[in-house]
Amino acid sequence: MAGKENGVQARIASEYPLAVFVHCSAHRLNLVVNDLNAVSDVRNTIGTVKAIIKFFRESPKRRCLIPNTPLLCETRWSAKYKSIRLFAENFIEIHRQLENLAQHESNAKGRQTAHQLRTASGTATFVVTLYIIAKYSSISEPVTQALQAVQLNMLGVKQHIDKLVSMFCDHRQNAETLFAENIYTAALKSAEAIGVTISVPRQCARQVFRANTGGTSEEYYRRSIYVPYMDSLIQSLTSRFSETNMPALMLYRLHPAQMEKIDRSDYKTLVKTIHQFYNFDNFQEDAMTWYDITIKGKFPQSEDQEELEFVDLVKNMELFPTVRQAMITLLTLPATTCTVERSFSTMRRVKTWLRSTMSDDRLSGLCMMVSTEAE
């Protein structure tokens, strides 16, 4: 779909150059989470969590031993965040059941798998990394749900991501206090409950395969896991939601609350870039007049500029037809494709073997009804 050479978006762009390909915001946030697999400890921990959940869910008898924990689904991203959060909340019970199965499971293969999973999840690195991931999964869970809203626009996406990046940057700057109080303390309690000692791994004079970080165990795990995790998270969020990846996102700067944050020269350069991309008729003069009038306070303002919606602006901009056209263009850009994908998943429930001969009109009608009911 998104291929630059032969993808659907490339074929559409060849016929309609002004048609802009917009990557779904919920997809991009999920790709941010996948980028974190570059941190080896995070990748190994997520793989172990996935294997443990699968081990318990593949048997009805074993499934009853632990609280209900959904699988780490690669397509339903909110379920992924929820799964990691619930696993961390019930980690002590899950580890206890693995230890019990490793000794008393009737199936030899089951005993072997339980022993391997118990060993993999019984290390200090796994416990600390698990609670790091769980904390930021719980923070990202409501954001990924908000990015799937039907009425969401590109400005709303930008506001959600800006708040998220600002929060993560604050956590990164206060890493010493936040990690010690919120994450390391919880990891110590869980490690003590399962009989694991959190200590600094063996150090040597010349380390090749990992950072030879000194200090206490809290300093070691903060420097070797938490800080690289936060740096990777912030960098991936910033790059995947950058304006440079989407020239059309510059249109959101036409919002009065955004214009107040930039000076006139920068705004003029921005307007020129938008004009070169979209070639709106008389856009530069119209946009500069809109800037001057808005900054001087001659345009009706909202009590809270940040809450002023583009839809409300469009209704009162007859004097700026080109700027109004640009705002309408921004409103037409889809912030998410989740609604469309819900329709795809509906197909499996509607087009069963008994309904395989129905007409296209009836199939479309039933899918629309089921999709609307699900929303």
Among 56, 69, 70, CA closest to 98? 56
pLDDT tens for residues 162-197? 888 899 999 999 988 888 888 999 999 999 999 888
> Mean pLDDT over residues 75-97, rounded?
84
Spell out the residues 6+ positions from residue 214 whose beta carbon is closer than 8 angstroms to its own.
200, 203, 220
For residue 1 the two structure tokens come to: 């779909």
pLDDT of residue 305: 46
pLDDT of residue 303: 43
Q: What is the mean pLDDT of the chain?
A: 80
pLDDT tens for residues 328-341? 887 777 777 766 66
pLDDT category of residue 302 using cuts at 50, 70 and 90: very low
Among 230, 246, 234, CA closest to 42? 230
pLDDT tens for residues 137-146? 888 888 888 8
Helix%, strand%, coil% for the chain, nearest 5: 70, 0, 30
* Distance between CA atoms of residues 101 and 115, nearest Å: 8
For residue 260 the two structure tokens come to: 């107040």
Whether pTM > 0.85 for this model: the answer is no
pLDDT tens for residues 200-250? 877 666 666 666 666 788 888 888 889 989 998 898 888 887 765 556 677
> Mean pLDDT over residues 54-72, rounded?
87
Among 151, 172, 272, CA closest to 228? 172
